């Protein structure tokens, strides 16, 4: 078996020649430059060297001079195979240095193989002639010709016997070679076009070839990676190595054609990437695995985005559940607060009954505050967004912050002097800032620094490079506290989740902030490392106009009336309480537990001046009922009510103008005032 040494600094060229020569039945070795080739030749002298000219470390001309100057390589065939050809002097120089042949890239496979075979024969004949001359024989050419004739005669006999199959073999060979050339070209182009790391593992030689993707993705210098299976396996994460090696071994030892695995792969800088690895096993006719060709993809960023999406979906699901619970709870609070007010007013001043009613009312109010926080997380609270100066809001809150945080916490303010106006609910923003500062105080048990910053920011939160950035007013709160553990960081916005000791927190503070920011059209980010503190950044939508001072509002006392009101409420307790209050205010009251019953009352001709209806009801909702009622009674007025907010309810029917709505739970004075506003409008 002939041994051929291919010397070329391009792995694709070496790979092509190796495939071509191996198909011929020759044993092929590789070297990336002349210096590496001499090291391999010192161990075992090949029959022929096929070398490029332009290479790093040692070029082809230098390698040729050193080979012809070394007596050990006197019988070695040396073929120059290069893409560099500026003039005939290139070939002349190579011939003068002792090259047996000079070929230009790209050469047809048939021409390349023929050149190698002829060069081997010619070099063998030359060596034989030298040997005969040294032994004293004179007619070297004649002896050589005889030998050739005998070989040709034997070959002709073989050709005559196989003449019929020869043409088919030639055609098949040409088709295979053409397919090989096309495959090699596709492989080379794919290797350059993709950013994935393509690899080829020769199982027999235990050599692992990589394309440039290994450097692009993981930082390993292309061409300097040495080693086979063990080099790759050493860079698989310790916790994944046994599993991945087992699946790899199973693919090789069984009859499987495909192999795949997901694991963590160490980059050149020591960090780990999440990867997906897929390979195809090439086998011989007996089913023995010869090599595996595959693709290694970095999916770190994709997995991070998937985790963010799962977290967002989880929070959204929790928000839906929380909003539904708060809605039902508001129905109960409406009855409790209203009857507590009635009880307090009907009791003797200072009596035990009045004190009990006051306690009930206060507890119900605390329940209402709780539901407001839950609705804030679910993004279903009532917001009164205004154009505000965030710096001014922070300045007004500064005395309260210094008093609440204590002497052990040092506060620093870094406020942008030319801050844009923001469009948010100022009261909710103050609550959010106070919550963040109190959380920061609790994280700094031994004291520390709390920093409040504002800045103008333009960015895109959708993650699309082509998306146009939007303007935000950034409000950040940073502390030097204990930080948040990674396993807790993904859950900090969930309602009732807290790492504080029992009784030290409700777990609703960050949930409320999250809901408020999302409902306001902004974004919230949290950054934290254990032992290095925490930073929470609120991105508030920029307002188009400048902030204006608030005008003091005057309270207006509205009396009851004598109009006819149709109350539609599916909750029996709320329906009874509302009817009682309206009757006490002097109104004529009609009640219905659902929409169809209300429509029957209207069809009967019962006088009705105003329809007071819940929005969320089984069957026909409040919007559809109001639309049908207006068709029956064109002059009827409508007041909506719901445990959800105006914004949340409007999402169920965006085309309905939500100018008049009363949010549960409501006090008697709120109900009386809103009724008169609608009736007198």
pLDDT tens digits, one per residue of 413-426: 999 999 999 998 88
Contact 61, 94 (CB under 8 A): yes
Could you tell me which residues are beta bridge partners of residue 611? Answer: 566, 638
Contact criterion met (CB below 8 Å) for 70 and 26? no
Q: Is the pLDDT of residue 613 over 80?
A: yes
Task: Write out pLDDT tens, residues 202-259.
Answer: 888 888 888 878 888 888 887 666 778 888 888 899 999 999 888 888 888 888 888 8
Which residues of the chain does CATH 3.40.50.2300 include? 3-161, 564-680
**pLDDT for position 660:** 75
pLDDT higher than threshold 90 for residue 601: yes
How many other CB atoms are found less than 10 A from the CB of residue 613? 24
Distance of CA 481 to the CA centre of its chain: 29
C-alpha distances out from residue 621 to 520, 626, 629, Å: 26, 9, 12
CATH 3.30.450.20 at 194-298, yes or no: yes
- Give the model's pLDDT for residue 343: 75
Cis peptide before 540 (omega within 30 of 0): no
Helix (H) or strand (E) holding 452: strand 448-459
CA 337/CA 367 separation, integer angstroms: 10
Mean pLDDT across the stretch 543-553? Answer: 60
CA-CA distance, 209 to 232, in Å (whole number)? 11
Q: Which fold has domain 3-161?
A: Rossmann fold (3.40.50)
Look at residue 503 in the predicted model and tell me its pLDDT.
Answer: 45
Q: Where in the chain is the domain with CATH 3.30.450.20?
A: 194-298
Calculate what percentage of the chain has a pLDDT beyond 70. 74
Q: Which CATH number fits domain 386-541: 3.40.50.2300, 3.30.565.10, 3.20.20.150, 3.40.50.300?
A: 3.30.565.10
- Is pLDDT of 550 > 80? no
Q: What is the secondary structure of 503-564 as a DSSP string?
A: TS--S-HHHHHHHHHHHTT-EEEEEE-TTS-EEEEEEEEBPSS---PPPPPPP--------E
Nearest CA to 664 out of 352, 261, 337 is that of 337
Dist CA 506 CA 438 (whole Å): 13
Span 316-335, pLDDT tens digits: 665 555 555 556 666 666 76
Segment (H or E) for 322: helix 300-346
Burial of residue 658 (number of CB atoms within 10 Å: 0-12, 13-18, 19+): middle
Of 539, 551, 544, 525, the residue nearest 429 (C-alpha): 539
pTM metric for this prediction: 0.34
If one looks up domain 564-680 in CATH, what number appears?
3.40.50.2300
Strands in 179-249 per DSSP E: 197-202, 207-210
- At residue 329, φ and ψ (nearest 5 deg) are -65, -35
Top pLDDT among 190 and 287 is at 287
| Tokens, residue 136 | 């004293």
Task: Identify whether the C-beta of residue 665 lies closer than 8 Å to the C-beta of residue 333.
Answer: yes
List, in sequence order, every residue forming a beta bridge with 473; answer none if it has no partner: 456, 540
Angstrom distance (rounded) from CA 568 to CA 575 = 7
- Alpha-carbon distance 327 to 177, whole Å? 75
Is the bond preceding residue 106 a cis peptide, omega within 30 degrees? yes
C-alpha torsion angle, residues 87, 92, 98, 100 (rounded to 10)? 70
Task: Provide the β-strand partners of residue 478.
Answer: 451, 535
Burial (0-12, 13-18, 19+ Cβ within 10 Å), 636: middle
pLDDT recorded at residue 608: 94
For position 319, what pLDDT does the model report? 55
pLDDT of residue 512: 75
Every domain of the chain with CATH number 3.30.565.10 lies at 386-541
Residues in the chain: 681
Residue 453 has pLDDT above 90, yes or no: yes
Task: Give the model's confidence band at 657: pLDDT under 50 very low, under 70 low, under 90 confident, else very high.
Answer: very low
Question: What's the Cα-to-Cα distance from 437 to each of 54, 478, 518, rounded to whole Å?
Answer: 67, 9, 19
C-alpha–C-alpha distance, residues 410 and 395, integer Å: 16
CB atoms within 10 A of CB 587: 23
Per-residue pLDDT, 370:
57
Banded model confidence at residue 127, pLDDT cuts 50, 70, 90 = low
Average pLDDT of the chain, as a whole number: 78
Q: Which tokens belong to 222?
A: 């292309």
Average pLDDT value for residue range 23-47:
89
∠374-380-386 over CA atoms, to 5°? 115
Confidence (pLDDT) at 350: 72
Q: Which residues contact 40 (CB under 8 A, 6 or more apart)?
A: 5, 29, 31
Residue 138 has a pLDDT of 41
Per-residue confidence at 181, pLDDT binned at 50, 70, 90? low
User: Is it the case that residue 26 has pLDDT exceeding 80?
Assistant: yes
Buried b (16+ CB within 10 A) or exposed e, 346-381: ebeeeeeebeebeebbeebbebbeebbbbbbbbbbb
114 vs 150 pLDDT, higher one = 114
Cα atoms in the Cβ-side hemisphere of radius 13 Å centred on 531:
0
Tokens read off for 503:
């009784």
Quickly tell me which residue has 């920029």 as its tokens.
Answer: 542
As a whole number of angstroms, the distance between CA 73 and CA 9 comes to 22
Partners of 362 in the beta sheet?
none
For residue 325, what pLDDT is reported?
59
Handedness of CA 204, 205, 206, 207 (dihedral sign): negative
Buried/exposed code over 477-511 (b: 16+ C-beta within 10 A; e: otherwise): bbbbbbbbeeeebbebbbbeebeeeeeebeebbbb
- Predicted local distance difference test score (pLDDT) of residue 556: 42
Which residues sit opposite 542 in a β-bridge?
A: 422
């Amino acid at each position: 078996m002939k041994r051929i040494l291919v010397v070329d600094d391009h792995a694709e060229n070496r790979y092509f020649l190796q495939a071509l020569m191996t198909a011929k039945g020759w044993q092929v070795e590789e070297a990336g430059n002349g210096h590496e080739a001499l090291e391999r030749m010192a161990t075992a002298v090949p029959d022929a060297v096929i070398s490029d000219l332009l290479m790093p470390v040692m070029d082809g001309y230098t390698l040729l001079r050193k080979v012809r100057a070394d007596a050990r390589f006197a019988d070695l065939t040396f073929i120059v195979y290069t893409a560099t050809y500026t003039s005939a002097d290139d070939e002349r120089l190579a011939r003068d240095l002792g090259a047996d042949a000079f070929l230009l890239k790209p050469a047809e496979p048939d021409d390349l193989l023929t050149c190698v075979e002829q060069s081997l024969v010619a070099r063998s004949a030359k060596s034989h002639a030298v040997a005969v001359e040294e032994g004293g024989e004179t007619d070297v050419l004649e002896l050589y010709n005889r030998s050739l004739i005998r070989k040709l005669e034997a070959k002709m006999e073989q050709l005559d016997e196989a003449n019929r199959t020869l043409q088919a073999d030639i055609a098949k060979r040409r088709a295979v070679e053409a397919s090989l050339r096309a495959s090699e070209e596709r492989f080379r182009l794919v290797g350059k076009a993709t950013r994935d790391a393509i690899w080829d593992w020769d199982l027999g030689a235990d050599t692992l070839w990589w394309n440039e993707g290994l450097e692009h993705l993981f930082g390993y210098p292309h061409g300097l990676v040495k080693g086979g299976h063990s080099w790759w396996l050493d860079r698989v994460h310790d916790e994944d190595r046994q599993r991945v090696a087992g699946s790899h071994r199973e693919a090789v030892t069984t009859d499987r054609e495909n192999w795949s695995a997901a694991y963590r792969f160490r980059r050149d800088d020591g960090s780990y990437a999440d990867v997906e690895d897929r390979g195809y096993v090439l086998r011989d006719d007996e089913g023995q695995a010869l090599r595996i060709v595959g693709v290694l993809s970095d999916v770190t960023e994709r997995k991070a985005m998937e985790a963010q999406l799962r977290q967002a979906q989880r929070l959204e699901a929790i928000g839906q559940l929380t909003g539904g619970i708060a809605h039902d709870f508001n129905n109960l609070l409406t009855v409790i607060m209203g009857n507590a007010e009635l009880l307090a007013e009907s009791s003797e001043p200072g009596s035990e009954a009045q004190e009990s009613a006051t306690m009930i009312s206060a507890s119900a109010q605390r329940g209402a505050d709780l539901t407001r926080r839950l609705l804030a997380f679910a993004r279903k609270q009532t917001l009164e967004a205004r154009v505000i100066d965030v710096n001014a809001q922070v300045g007004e809150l500064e005395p309260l912050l210094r008093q609440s945080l204590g002497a052990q916490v040092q506060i620093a303010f870094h406020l942008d002097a030319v801050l844009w106006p923001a469009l948010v609910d100022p009261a909710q923003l103050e609550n959010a800032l106070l919550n963040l500062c109190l959380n920061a105080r609790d994280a700094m048990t031994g004291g520390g620094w709390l920093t409040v910053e504002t800045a103008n920011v333009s960015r895109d939160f959708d993650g699309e490079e082509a998306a146009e950035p939007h303007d935000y007013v950034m409000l950040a709160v940073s502390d030097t506290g204990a930080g948040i553990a990674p396993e807790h960081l993904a859950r900090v916005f969930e309602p009732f989740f807290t790492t504080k000791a029992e009784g030290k927190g409700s777990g609703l503070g960050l949930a409320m902030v999250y809901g408020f920011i999302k409902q306001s059209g902004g974004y919230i980010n949290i950054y934290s490392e254990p032992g290095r503190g925490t930073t929470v950044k609120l991105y508030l939508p920029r307002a188009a106009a400048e902030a204006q001072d608030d005008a003091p509002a005057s309270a207006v006392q509205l009396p009851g009336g004598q109009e006819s009101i149709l109350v539609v409420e599916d909750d029996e307790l709320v329906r009874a309480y509302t009817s009682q209050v309206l009757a006490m205010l002097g109104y004529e009251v009609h009640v219905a537990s659902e929409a169809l019953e209300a429509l029957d009352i209207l069809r009967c001709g019962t006088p009705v001046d105003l329809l007071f209806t819940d929005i969320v009801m089984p069957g026909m909702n409040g919007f559809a009922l109001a639309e049908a009622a207006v068709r029956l009674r064109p002059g009827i007025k409508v007041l909506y009510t719901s445990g959800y907010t105006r914004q949340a309810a409007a999402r169920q029917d965006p085309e309905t103008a939500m100018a008049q709505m009363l949010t549960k739970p409501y006090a008697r004075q709120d109900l009386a005032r809103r009724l008169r506003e609608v009736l007198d409008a």
